[in-house]
Amino acid sequence: MKRHILALLPLLFFIVLVALFTAPLLRGTDPSRIESAMIGKPAPDFVLPGVLEHERPFERADLLRQDFALVNFFASWCVPCQAEQPVLTRISDEEGIVIYGVNYKDNRDDAVKWLKQHGNPFTATGYDNAGRVSIDWGVYGVPETYVVNRGGMILYRHVGPLTWQDYNAVIKPLLRKG
């Protein structure tokens, strides 16, 4: 009898493993999306030249000018960023949220053209050609969107293209809570 129970052990082990691997899939969490180490921490200090010719530099002090700001990291070579741009425009237009854009490892002319083509919802943009400032934010791919409060504290990071649903489900409640 005892031997029968022992024979069932591998099956039990297998079932536990399957449950362990299936749960994140069903929950819809993507393990390749890494939780930011910067949440709850002050945004890093930075000054970046603006992408557009007439633009002033984008710097940390800008983050402290409104109750909440989104900081979006994008690039003209980033295809998902194109899908996201109308969503950012809608958040800026309909919700009145200030969005800053950091252009990550891009060619300036391409970035200018891209903003003209896909819309520019950004209150100010920063040109991070070396990607060094993005590393200070903990960016590991574009697009990424950070929520920053008036104190300059990072509240949340979204990895990948932001959808209208994402905004309403996660970011909007965050802004209400403060």
Partner 1 sequence: MKYVLPFLLLLFISIANPAAAVLPDEIMSDPALEQRARAISRQLRCLVCQGEDIDESAAGLARDLRLLVRERLRAGDGDAEVLAFIQARYGDYVLMKPPVKPATYLLWSTPALVLLGGLLILFRRLRFKPAEGG
Q: Footprint of partner 1 on this chain (CB under 8 A)?
A: 32, 34-38, 105, 130-132, 135-138, 140-141
If the CB atoms of residues 121 and 161 are measured against partner 1, the closer one turns out to be 161
The H or E element spanning position 112 is helix 108-118
CB of 37 to partner 1, least distance (A): 3
| Sign of the CA dihedral running 166, 79, 157, 30 | positive
CB of 134 to partner 1, least distance (A): 9
If the CB atoms of residues 38 and 155 are measured against partner 1, the closer one turns out to be 38
If the CB atoms of residues 57 and 131 are measured against partner 1, the closer one turns out to be 131
CB of 35 to partner 1, least distance (A): 7
If the CB atoms of residues 154 and 171 are measured against partner 1, the closer one turns out to be 154
CA angle 151, 44, 162 (to 5 degrees): 80
Distance CA 51, CA 58 (A): 9
Q: Is the peptide bond before 143 cis (omega within 30 degrees of 0)?
A: yes
